Amino acid sequence: MFVCDDENQIHRDAKNGGSMLNRLKIRSRLIAGFGSIVLFLILTGALSLKNLDAQGELLSRFYDHPFTVTNAIHLVDAHIIRMHRGMKDVVLYADDRDDMEASLADIEASERIVYRELAVARERFLGDKGKIDQIKESMDQWKPVRARTIELVRQGKIAEAVAFHKGYARKMVTRIDTQVNDVLKFSNGKAESFVQEARNNERLTFAVTAILVALAGILAAATAFAITASITRPLDQAVKAADQLSQGDLSVEIDSSSPDELGQLLRTMGKMVQSLQRMGATANQIALGDLDTDVVPISERDVFGIAMSNMVASLRRLAASADRIAAGDLTIDVLPASSKDRLGNSFSVMTRNLRELSLEIAEVVNVLSGSATEIMTTVSELASSSAQTATSIAETNATVQEIRQTTDLTSQKSRQVYESAHRSVQVAKAGTESVSSAIGGMQGIDERMGFIADRIVNLSEQSQAIGEIIATVADLAEQSNLLAVNAAIEAAKAGEHGKGFAVVAQEVKNLATQSKQATSQVRGIINQIQKATTAAVLATEQGSKAVEAGVRQSSEAGESIRLLSASIEDSSNATLQIVTSTQEQAIGMDQIAIAIQSINQASDQNVEGSRQIEAAARNLYELNQKLQKLVSGYKVA
Amino acid sequence: MPASRIDWNSLLKRQEAAFAAANERSLDPGQEQAVLRERAVRLAVRPPEPESGETVDCLEFLLSGESYAIELCYITETLPLTDFTPLFCTPAFVLGIVNVRGRIVSILDLRRFFELASVGLSDLNRVIVVGNGSMEFGVLADSVAGMRSLKAQELLPPPDAFTGIREEFLAGVTADRLALLDMGKIMSDPRIVVHEEVS
C-alpha cells in the first residue's frame, strides 16, 4: 500500500514541477528516493522468499506423504510376493529340511519388514487409514494359514499342504494384493495432486516477482528523473545567471523560494547581483561626476565596496584640489596615493606645471610691460625722427645733384685707370719671363754647389792621407832620436876618439827633434784643414739650401707676378665696367631724385602711421595692465 | 743686381801664392848657405874649457814624470819596447824578458823596485840596456831625454823626500831634480838577483 502511495506521489510531484519535492532538502530528497527503492527491493525479496518457503513446504509434504507411502506400499507388496514365493518354496522343497528352514527364516524377515512398512504407511497415509488396517488384518489372517501349511509339510502331508496352499492361501494373497493396489492407487493420485499444487504455486510466485521487479524499475527511473530534474533546473538557472554576470550584465533576475541548498545559492546570488547593481549605479554616478553618493561597504571584508569608497574619497580629494586650482590657488601640493596613481601624479605634475606656467606668464607679463613702455617711447621717438627724415630728404636731394657732377669726373678718371692697367699687364708678363730665367740660373748654382762640396770632401780625404804620411815621418824621427842616443853612447864609450862622433850624434838628435816638431806642426795644420773643409761642406750645404729657397721664392714671385697680372687684367676690365656703370649712375641719380620725391611723400605717411602706432602701443599697455591683474589672481607661493 | 760679396780675385791670388809656396824649394840657395854658415860658426866656437873637477857622463830619462840619470859606462844601448814576454814566479819589479838581437834580457821596472806606493801612469816605451860585464838587464823608461854631463859639485845628497830603498840607490840629485842612480850599487845588490825555484 505504502509503495503504491509513494509511487503516486513521486509521479504527481514530477508533473507539478516538483513543488512538493522542492520543499524538501536535496539530501532528504535523495534519501527518500533511494530509500523507497531499497524498501521496494526488500519487499520483493521477502515475497520471493516467502513463496520459496511455501514451495519447499509443499515439496517436503510431497516427500513426507505420497512419496513415502507409495514407497512403503511398494515394499509391502514386494515382500508379500516374496513371502508367497517362500511359501511356494516351502511347499515345493519339503524334502530338503535345510532349504525349508532357510525359506522360513526368509519369510519371517519379510513379514517383519511388511509390518514395519505398514506402520510407516499408516502413519503417513492421508487417505482412509482403515485400508491400511485392512491390509494388516489380512496379514494377521494370513499367518495362521501359513502356519497350517507348514504344519502339513512337517507332517509330510505334502499333497494336502499343496492343495491348502493353492486354494486358501492363494486367495488370501490375492486379497492382500488388491488391498495393497488400492492403497497404492490412492497414494499415486495424492502425489499427482501435490505436483499440480507445486506447479501452481511456482507460477504464482513467478508472476508476483515479475510484477514487483517491473514496479521497482519504474519507481527507480521515476525517482532518478524527478531528483535529477529538481537539482538540474535551479542549477541551470544559476549557471545562466553566473554566465550573464561574467559578461558584466547585471540585469539578471534571480527568484527562488525553494528552501533547499540551491535555493539558498540562488538567493545569495540574487543578493550579490543586487549589491553589484547598487555598486554599478554608484559607479555610474561617479562616472557622471556625481561624487555626493556615499558608498557604504556591506561588510568589513567587502573589498569592492571599500575600494569604491576609497576611490570616491580620493576623487573627492582631487576634486577639492581641482576646486582650489580653479579658484586660482596654485600653492597646494597634490600627493599621489601611490607611485602608480596616474591621476594623482598627473594632478601633481599639472599643479607644478601650472605654477611654473603662471610664474613664467608673470615674468612674461613683466617683460611685456617693459616692452610696451619701450614701444611707447620708441614710437614717440619715431614720430620725431620722421620729422627729421623729412628735412634730411631735402638735404639728400641737394647731395644727389652734387654726386651727379662727381660721377662725370669719375667716368673720366676710370678711363685713364683702364689704360694704365693695360700697360701694367705688359710689364707683368716681362717680369714672369725674367723670374723663370732666374729660376734656371738658381738651379745651375745648385749643381755647382754640389760639385764644390764633392771636391772639398776629396781634399779632406787627401789631407787624411797626408796625416798618415806624417805619422810615419814622426815614427821615423823617433827612431832617429833613439839611434842618435845609441850613437852618443857608443861615442862616449870610444872615449877621446869618439868625441867628434858624439857631436854628429848630437846633431842627428837635434834634427830628429826638429822633424818631430815639424810633424806635429803639420798635424796641426792638417787638423785645421779638416775643420775648414767640414765648415766648407756645411757652408755649401747651406748655400744649396739657400739656392733651394731662392728657387722657391722666385717661383713664388713668378706666381705672384702672374696673379698680379691677372688681377691687373681683372681691374682693367673692372675699370671698363666702372666707365659704363658711371654712365648708368648718372641716369640712376636722376631716378634717385624722383625716388626721393616719393620718399618725401612716404615720410609724411610715416608720421601719420607712427601716430597710429602710438595709439596701438597705448592699447597694448592697457592690455598688459589687465594681464598683470589676471596673473596676480593666481597664488603661486 | 748687386755684385757678389765674394772677392774672387783676392781668393785666386791667395791660392796662387799658396801653390807657389808649396812648389818652391824650402830655402833659396843663398838662404841655405846662410843657415849652413851660421851653423858652422856655431860649431866653430870652441866650447868653453870644462871647469876643473870631475864630470860624470850620463843618460837622462823620464819615468812617471820624474827625471833619472844613469852613468854612461853602464849603458850598452837603448831600445824601443816593442814586445816582451811576462815571466811567472818573479818579483813584481821584473816586468818580463825581451829578445835583444839574440840575447835574452830581463826588464826591470824601477818604480816597483823602489817600492813606490802609488805607481803612476807610464807610456813605458823605452828600454835602457845596462850591464857591467857580469850581468845585464834592461831598465824601463817613458822616454830618453839625452846625454848629459854632470859635475861632481852639482850633485847634492838626496833630500828627505827620498826615503827607503830609493835613497839607498841614489848617487845624488841635481838642483833641477835629476836623480842620478848608483848603478854599481844596484847591480851588486843581492835583492836584484832573482833565484827562485818552482817545484
Q: What whole-number distance in Å separates Cα of residue A125 and Cα of residue A179? A: 14
A485 → closest Cβ in B73, B76, B144 = B144
Question: Cβ of B59 and A485 within 8 Å?
Answer: yes
Rounded to an integer, what distance in angstroms lies between the CA atom of residue A58 and that of residue A194? 7
- Condensed to tens digits (0 to 9), the pLDDT of residues A274-330 reads 888 888 888 888 888 888 877 778 788 888 888 888 888 888 888 888 888 888 888
Please report, for residues A12, A42, A134, A212, A230, the alpha-carbon distance to residue A37 in angstroms, rounded to integers and kept in the order given.
Answer: 17, 9, 61, 11, 18
Q: How many CB atoms lie within 10 A of CB B121?
A: 8
User: In chain A, which residues have their Cβ closer than 8 Å to the Cβ of B76?
Assistant: 489
Question: Do B80 and A482 form a contact (C-beta atoms < 8 A)?
Answer: yes
Mean pLDDT across B162-178: 82
CA distance A559 to A508: 75
B147/A485 touch (CB, cutoff 8 Å), yes or no:
yes
Cell of A289: 561626476
Does residue A281 belong to the interface with chain B, where contact is any CB pair within 8 Å? no
Distance CA A501, CA A492 (A): 9
Residue of A nearest to B79 (CA): A482
Q: Is A296 exposed, middle or buried (0-12, 13-18, 19+ CB in 10 A)?
A: exposed
Chain A: residue whose CA lies nearest to B58: A489
In the block, cell 806606493 appears at: B117
Q: Say if the Cβ atoms of A503 and B57 lie within 8 Å.
A: no
The three-class DSSP label of residue A184 is helix
Identify the pLDDT of residue A329: 82
B43 to chain A: which residues are within 8 Å by CB?
503
Under an 8 A CB cutoff, do B59 and A479 touch?
no
What lies within 8 Å, CB to CB, of B87 at 6+ separation is B94, B96, B97, B106
Q: How far is A566 from chain B (nearest CA, A)?
A: 27
Whether residues A493 and B72 touch (CB distance < 8 A) is answered with yes
**A463-476 burial, b if ≥16 CB within 10 A, otherwise e?**
beeebeebeebbee
Q: What is the pLDDT of residue B198?
A: 67
Q: How close is the nearest chain B Cα to the Cα of A526, in Å?
A: 15
Q: Which of A482, A502, A503 sits opposite B78 (nearest CB)?
A: A482
| 8 Å CB contact between B122 and B64 | yes
On chain B, the residues whose CB falls within 8 A of the CB of A481 are 144
Mutate to test the interface with B, among A486, A515, A554 (most CBs of B within 10 A): A486
- Tell me if B173 sits within 8 A of B158, measured CB to CB: yes
In terms of phi and psi (left: phi > 0; alpha: psi -120 to 50; beta: otherwise), the region of A406 is alpha
The C-alpha atoms of residue A275 and residue A305 are separated, in whole angstroms, by 9
The predicted pLDDT at position B69 comes to: 92
User: Is A257 buried (19+), middle (13-18) or exposed (0-12) by CB count in 10 A?
Assistant: exposed
CB A51 within 8 A of CB A205: yes
Q: Which of B5, B57, B73, B130 to mutate to test the interface with A (most CBs of A within 10 A)?
A: B57
**Which one, of A98, A85, A100, A82, lies nearest residue A158 by Cα?**
A100
Q: Which of B43, B59, B80 sits opposite A489 (nearest CB)?
A: B59
At residue B188, does pLDDT exceed 80? yes
Q: Which of A485, A493, A503 sits opposite B146 (nearest CB)?
A: A485
CB proximity A516 to B under 8 Å: no
- Residue count (chain B): 199
What is the arrangement of strands in the sheet containing B143-151, beginning at the earlier edge strand? Answer: B143-151, B55-63, B66-71, B178-181, B170-173
How far from chain centre, in Å, is Cα A549?
Answer: 80
Residue identified by cell 723670374 is A435
Name every residue in B having a CB less than 8 A away from some CB of A.
43, 57, 59, 72-73, 75-80, 126, 144, 146-147
Partner B contacted by A518 (CB < 8 A): no
Place of cell 803639420: A522
CB contact under 8 A, A503 and B77: no
Position B129 confidence tier, pLDDT thresholds 50, 70, 90: very high
Residue A500 DSSP class: H
CB contact A489 to B (< 8 Å): yes
**A323 DSSP 8-state letter:** H
In B, which residues are within 8 Å of A489 by CB distance?
A: 59, 72, 75-78, 147
Contacts of A503 in chain B (CB under 8 A): 43
Q: Is A479 on the interface with B (CB under 8 A)?
A: yes
DSSP state, residue A496: G
With CA atoms as reference, report the closest residue to A262 among A22, A28, A16, A30: A22
**How far is it, in rounded angstroms, from Cα A142 to Cα A169?**
7
**Nearest-by-Cβ selection for B77 from A486, A502, A503:** A486
Report yes or no: A486 at the B interface, CB cutoff 8 Å. yes
Nearest alpha-carbon partner for A561 in A422, A425, A417, A437: A425
In terms of Cα–Cα distance, which of A358, A354, A377 is closest to A366? A358
Inter-chain CB proximity B147 and A492 less than 8 Å = yes
Are the CB atoms for A21 and A13 separated by under 8 Å? yes
The stretches in chain A having pLDDT less than 50 are: 1-18
CB pairs under 8 A between A and B: 33
Grouping H, G, I as helix, E, B as strand and the rest as coil, residue B95 is strand
Which of B43, B77, B126 is facing A489, going by the closest CB pair? B77
Single-letter residue type at A58: L
| Interface mutation target, options A459, A463, A466, A482, chain B, most CBs of B under 10 Å | A482
The runs of H, that is alpha helices, within A16-25 are: 19-23
Q: Which of A434, A485, A499, A510 to mutate to test the interface with B (most CBs of B within 10 A)?
A: A485
- Kindly state whether A301 is in contact with chain B, defined as any CB-CB distance less than 8 angstroms: no
Is B144 within 8 Å of A509 when comparing Cβ atoms?
Answer: no
C-alpha cell at A346: 598627473
Q: With an 8 Å Cβ cutoff, is A509 touching chain B?
A: yes
Nearest to A492 among B57, B126, B144 (CB): B57
Task: For residue B79, list chain A residues with Cβ-Cβ distance below 8 A.
Answer: 482
Residue of A nearest to B143 (CA): A482
Which residues face A635 on adjacent strands? A329
Contacts A478 to B, Cβ<8 Å: 80
What are the pLDDT digits (tens) for A103-132? 888 888 888 888 888 888 888 777 778 888
**Residue A573, SS3 per DSSP:** helix
**Phi, psi values for residue A341, rounded to 5°:** -75, 95
Is there a contact between A482 and B43 if contact means CB atoms under 8 Å apart? Answer: no
Distance CA B111, CA B118 (A): 9
Distance from CA of A577 to the nearest CA of B (A): 40
Residue with cell 840629485: B173
Residue of A nearest to B78 (CA): A486
CA distance B190 to chain A (A): 27
The pLDDT, as a whole number, for residue A6 is 43
Torsion of CA B50, B53, B58, B63, to 10 degrees: -110
